[in-house]
Amino acid sequence: MIAFFADRFDKPSIPIYLALGIVFGPLWSVLSTSALVPEISLTGGVLSLVSELGLLFLLFIVGLQVKLSQISEKLKTGSVMTLVQGLGVAGFASIYLYVAGFEFLEILILSAALVPSSAAIVIPMLKQQQELSSENGMLDISVLVLENVYLVVAVGAVSALSKGSGLALLKVLVAMSLGLIIAYLSSRLVLPKIVSEVLQDQKSFLMAGFGLLGAFVLFSSFAGLKPEIGAFFAGVALAQLPYSSELQAAVDPMTEFFLAIFLASLGLTLSPSSVSSVAADALILALLLVPAKASLYYISSRFSWGRRICFIEVCS
C-alpha cells in the first residue's frame, strides 16, 4: 500500500518505510504491554535476516549501476565532486561533533558515515523521473558509485578498527583489492562464457546471477569482510555484461521488499528515549550539512558543467 501511494505521487517509498518503523515501534511496545495483542518481538530472528538481505540486495543494485563504459566520461568530474564534498562534509561534521563533546573515535565514525549519499533514495528517484540515462543522471550515478566505493572501504576500516589492530585493517584493504580484481577478471574472462550459455533460459540466467552473488558473499565472509561488500563486487562484475539490465529488473522488486523490512525494523529499534537524546545534535547537523553539501556539489561541478546541469545535479 505504501509503495502504491508513493508511486502514485512520484515520491520515493524508502523514507516512508523508515518513518513507519519509527512510528510503529513505540506503538507496538505500548500495545504489547496490554492484553490487546500478544507479546511478539519485532526484532531479531527471521526479521533480522530478511532485513539484512535488503541491505545486501541494495548494494548489489548499486554495483549493477557501475557500467564503466557509460560512466567513464563522468568519473573525472564525479571524482572531483566526491572529493570536495567528502572533505567538506567530514570537516564540518568533525568540527561540530568536537565542539559538542564527542569522543575521537565517535567523531571519526560519524563524520565518515555522513559523507555518502543514500543509494536507497537517489536511485529510486532517478528511476521515477526517468533520469538514469540522462546527462545529470549519469553524473549522479558516477558520484554515487565513487561514494559507495568509499563506503565499502570505510565499512571495512571500521570493522578492522573495532578489532583494535592495524594488521586487521591491512588485511581488510588487501581483501577488498583482491575482490575488485576478481570482479574485473570474472567480468572479462568467465562471465561472458557463462552468460552466453544460459541467456536463452531466463531462469538459468537469473540463477547464474544469484550464484555469482552468493559466491562473492562467501568470499567476503571468508576474507573477514561484510557480506554487503561482496554483493557490491558481484554487482560490479555483472554490470560490465550487456545483459545486466535484465538481471536488475528481476532483482528490483525483491530489493524493495527486503529493504522495506530493513528500514522498518531499523525504525523499530529507535525508541523515543534514544531518539530524544540525540535529536538536537541530529537537527543541527542536518541544518548545517544539507546546504553545505549542496553548495559544495554546485561549486565543484561548475568546473566541468554548465549552470543548468549543475543546478539539476544539486537538486537531485
What does the CA dihedral 106, 107, 110, 114 come to, rounded to 10 degrees?
A: 180
Mean pLDDT by runs of 10 across the 316 residues of the chain is 64 68 63 54 59 75 73 70 82 89 82 75 67 69 74 67 63 75 77 70 75 84 76 82 73 72 68 72 85 77 53 48
Reduced to 3 states (helix: H, G, I; strand: E, B; else coil), residue 96 is helix
> Residue 230 and residue 183: Cα distance in Å, rounded?
10
pLDDT of residue 250: 74
Q: Is the pTM of this model over 0.85?
A: no
> How far apart are the C-alpha atoms of 220 and 77, rounded to whole Å?
31
Helix, strand or coil, per DSSP, at residue 24? helix
pLDDT number for residue 176: 73
In 3D space, the residue among 80, 71, 73, 72 whose CA is nearest the CA of residue 302 turns out to be 80
Question: CA 216, CA 235: separation in Å to the nearest integer?
Answer: 10
Residue 103, pLDDT score? 85
Give start and end residues of each alpha helix (H) in the chain: 2-8, 14-32, 45-64, 68-99, 104-113, 119-128, 135-162, 166-185, 191-198, 202-222, 227-239, 244-268, 272-301, 307-315
**pLDDT recorded at residue 166:** 60
N-term to C-term CA, the chain? 25
Q: What is the DSSP letter of 101?
A: T
Please give the grid coordinates belonging to residue 305.
Answer: 558543467
Instruction: Please give the full DSSP string across 183-219, using - where no structure is assigned.
Output: HHHIIIIIHHHHHHHHTTSHHHHHHHHHHHHHHHHHH
- Dig out the grid coordinates for 102 from the structure: 564527542
Q: What is the pLDDT of residue 316?
A: 47
* Closest among 286, 310, 287 to 299, alpha carbons compared: 310
Burial class (CB in 10 A: 0-12, 13-18, 19+), 35: exposed
Which three cell numbers, joined as nine digits, stand for 180? Answer: 575488485
Q: What is the pLDDT of residue 112?
A: 79
CB atoms within 10 A of CB 138: 20
Q: Which residue has the cell 509503495?
A: 3
Please name the residue that has the C-alpha cell 533520469: 131
Of the candidates 174, 187, 166, the residue with the CA atom closest to the CA atom of residue 219: 174
Q: Which domains, and CATH codes, for the chain? A: 53-315 (1.20.1530.20)
**What distances in angstroms separate CA 287 from CA 249, 280, 283, one per listed residue?**
36, 11, 6
